Chains A and B, each alone.
Chain A
Amino acid sequence: MGRYVIRRLLQAIPVLLGATLLIFAIVFALPGDPIRALAGEKPPSPQVVEVLREQYHLNDPLLLQYWYYISGVLFRGDFGTTFQNVPVGDLMKATFPTTLQLALTALMIQAVIGVGLGLWAALRRGKAEDTMILASTLILISVPTLVSGFVLQLLLGVKLGLFPIAGTSEGWYSFLLPGFVLAGGSIAYLTRLTRTSLVETLRSDYIRTAVAKGMNRRRVVGRHGLRNALIPLVTFLGADLGNLMGGAVITERIFNINGVGSLLIRGVYERQQPIVVGVVTALVLVYILANLVVDLMYAVLDPRIRYE
């Protein structure tokens, strides 16, 4: 088991290295001069462009530039700097915890609401509640974050004053509303997934056996039904953590949260290779770890699955 984890982590190393080179090359291939683009619509003075291009090795070939970058990361733990001389390591340190907090809040919200609603719908299959839940998830899934974000911000934040409007100055409380907005689509998806998975499990032979043995309904559904139905849900939640972290751009913008998504977008837009490579590599790492945790969770949920 320990050996399995170590093997998985070792496998991650070439993946991460390959990812950095690939992303570095992609950003390199973007058209236009990043230093000129920085200056916006007024032309920067030619001497400024010249000095900065030199300073950030922009005149060197791709592989040499990559070597400057990756040797810094590997040997000095230095993730490079932006063209404004801000260490990328500092930017990542500032944004990752914030976005992780947002993503975990969203994950909790979607797990509680999604699984709860799905459970309810499955137990009331075919009845009015079931239809209602399915219909409302359809609405939830079709409202884009941009709309739900602004509407909820205006309604619950500005008009009713229930939640902070924007920013993260009130700790966990400030993440509730953005977390809910971010979770929106996933809640709907998770509800449907839970419902289908549970309905299917409840039809199986061992459930019928358990009921026939006279076991009480709560125990049949909770212990025998839900636990087995959880496997696809855990897979979904694990993969979703990565999505929530890298894909929270719109939510972060609406709620003025200084997060990974906004940092990444800025990096791409300004062609700041160190930002893009650093952030994407860290996101790849998040995906790898989340997948590992998901795989280990399988073993917890289903004793038949073993890793050696």
Chain B
Amino acid sequence: MRVTKGAQIVAGAALLALAVAACGGGASTGSSGAGSGETPVRMEVGEPQHALVPGLTAESEGAEILAAIYDPLVNYNENKQADPNVAESVSTTDNKVWTIKLKQGYTWHDGTKLTAQDYVNAWNWVARKSSAADATGFMAKIDGYADLNPEGEGTMETVKEMKGLKVVDDTTFTVTLASPFSQFGLMLGYTAFYPMHPKSWEADGKLTAAAQEQPIGMGLFKLDKAYKKGTDQTIDLTVYDKFTGTKPKNWTKLQFKLYTSSETAYNDLQGEQLDIHDSIPATQLSSAKSALGERYHDDPDSAVGYIGVPLAYNKDYQNADVRKAISMAIDRKTISEVVFSGSRSPADDFISPVVDGYRQGACGEACTYNPTAAKELYTKAGGPAKIELGYNADGGHKEWIEATANNLRQNLGVEVEAKPFEKFASILESLQNKEYSGLFRMAWSYDYPSPENYLRPIFGKIAIANGSNYGGYDNPEFDKLVDQGDQAATADESVKFYQQADDVLLKDLPYIPVYFYRTNWGHSTKIKNVSLNLLKQVNWAAVEKA
């Protein structure tokens, strides 16, 4: 009997310990956020990739949160142009030297005055090799970027500041670019170009822990507490009372709720436990339209979906007519409306409709579904008898790739194999290692709202080694036209050059544009006047509680 008693005690104690541990956990994870009585406006986000640091953020979820904490130099208006915001003016005479003047009166959330130096410090940090910042590429056009990024493994920069950045006075600084770039002003509204608080760094130049968990911003909202990545399920903010721009009329608390599943977030929206959801899943679109009514919105998105062609790796596709025939054999309308339940629209240009320079129907015949002509052209041009279609199996691409494969099979009468890869990066590795030489799916969303962003980073010669030109397309005429656009004197003129470069692409079809993404979003009955800006971020100042 002695044994039994002992066992009882041990077993009982073990169970008790488990229960106590569980209770303790319950208390710490049950953070409901806002302390005061006001119910916050709640928005869905995915977990940000990195700590809340502008330079580390090159993805939409972190950018959405940072956009609440910081205020950009420029805002984008309805005509897709940049309006000065924190900047009083952004000016240049030669597209090379840019002068940025700041408005008076902006302060950091701790009351310190915002100065031109705060921008220069932040941008230099982002550009440094040792910072390993995801958004470093945004600084690459500034003169002196190369000095901060010496080649060779293990060699770190010795120069700490880009020679192209100069502080003129407290509210003015100049940016000299390595070569003229007419679109630089359009880049300035992006996350990477936010300033950083002067106390963000340790003496050795590393970011402080506070700067990563509870950055002091200069925007509409102030963080209530430090954000512990991976632990916290909400990020709570309050309107900064000394903010000089427009503030929301009748509310002050904002909460970002972190979700891993957009279906779950949609259920929360229906149950009014969430106020804004900007990625309603395709499976719920038809029900969302009727359930949300006027609160459902469908806006064009910056992303474009393509079928990539490995021009440099496979001779079979080097005849432009083969690519045109493949393009004509794809039923874009059915793919957009049926396979994607209307969350895409058929692509008819290389430039997305969200930026200036898009021309409706620019792709013309090549992007129009025409099985008979496609077959004829394909046979005449001597296209390959077998087509491989690679896609990454992790991103919900199987359905539309299979649909496209069916189109090609039926319309061109060829053998088509849809080939899944683990991740997008695996497709690229296989291409580079010459293990795979088929077509591949590809998508692009802009980094800054300029037509140039749909051209050079994907199709420029320089992007083969240092960018996203995965097919290895190389056309000097195209590069020259983009250069001319970069150097044009006026915005209108540069758009014209970019459109000419676009025409070259439309003729060559280095990739086959298939669809434009759409942003499907909705809000609860508790708020009104909700709108998204060009970067797909909520215009918080305009939002009102109903």
Q: What residues of chain A lie closer than 8 Å to B27, measured between beta carbons?
A: 171
- Chain A nearest CB, measured from B56 CB (Å): 8
Report yes or no: B3 in contact with A1, Cβ–Cβ below 8 A: yes
Report yes or no: B425 in contact with A171, Cβ–Cβ below 8 A: no
Contact of B423 among A1, A32, A54 (CB under 8 A): A32
Judge if A277 is at the interface, Cβ distance under 8 Å.
Answer: no
Q: What residues of chain A lie closer than 8 Å to B212, measured between beta carbons?
A: 85
The segment from B8-16, B355-363, B534-542 found at the interface with A is B8-16
Report yes or no: A55 in contact with B132, Cβ–Cβ below 8 A: yes
Q: Give how many B residues have a beta carbon under 8 Å from the other chain's beta carbons.
A: 74
Judge if B436 is at the interface, Cβ distance under 8 Å.
Answer: no
Report yes or no: B6 in contact with A1, Cβ–Cβ below 8 A: yes
Report yes or no: A253 in contact with B424, Cβ–Cβ below 8 A: no
Q: Give CA–CA (A104, B271) in the complex, Å.
A: 27
- For window 66-96 of chain A, which residues contact chain B by CB distance below 8 Å? 82, 84-86, 90-91, 93-94, 96
Q: Give CA–CA (A161, B422) in the complex, Å.
A: 40
Report yes or no: A84 in contact with B50, Cβ–Cβ below 8 A: yes
Q: What residues of chain A lie closer than 8 Å to B21, measured between beta carbons?
A: 97, 100
Closest 7 CB pairs of A and B: A97-B25, A94-B231, A51-B132, A299-B7, A101-B22, A169-B32, A1-B6
Main secondary structure of the interface of A (DSSP, over half): helix
Q: What residues of chain A lie closer than 8 Å to B293, measured between beta carbons?
A: none
Report yes or no: B267 in contact with A154, Cβ–Cβ below 8 A: yes
Q: What residues of chain A lie closer than 8 Å to B260, measured between beta carbons?
A: 252-253, 256, 262
Using known A-B contacts A42-B468, A161-B271, A258-B29, determine if residue A33 contacts B425 with beta carbons closer than 8 Å: yes
Specify which of A1, A5, A33, A263 lies most central, judged by the most chain B CB atoms within 10 Å of its CB: A1
Chain A residue at smallest Cβ distance from B259 = A256
Judge if B261 is at the interface, Cβ distance under 8 Å.
Answer: yes
Q: Give how many A residues have a beta carbon under 8 Å from the other chain's beta carbons.
A: 74
Q: What residues of chain B lie closer than 8 Å to A157, measured between beta carbons?
A: 267, 271
- Chain A nearest CB, measured from B433 CB (Å): 11
- Chain B nearest CB, measured from A214 CB (Å): 27
Q: Give CA–CA (A46, B134) in the complex, Å.
A: 10
Judge if B309 is at the interface, Cβ distance under 8 Å.
Answer: no
Q: Give CA–CA (A297, B31) in the complex, Å.
A: 36
Q: Give CA–CA (A93, B270) in the complex, Å.
A: 32
Chain A residue at smallest Cβ distance from B233 = A258
Report yes or no: B466 in contact with A46, Cβ–Cβ below 8 A: yes
Q: What residues of chain A lie closer than 8 Å to B25, measured between beta carbons?
A: 96-98, 100-101
Contact of B29 among A32, A97, A154, A161 (CB under 8 A): A97
Q: What residues of chain B lie closer than 8 Å to A306, measured between beta carbons?
A: 3
Judge if B93 is at the interface, Cβ distance under 8 Å.
Answer: no
Q: Give CA–CA (A168, B231) in the complex, Å.
A: 12
Q: Give CA–CA (A55, B132) in the complex, Å.
A: 10
Specify which of A43, A82, A172 lies most central, judged by the most chain B CB atoms within 10 Å of its CB: A43
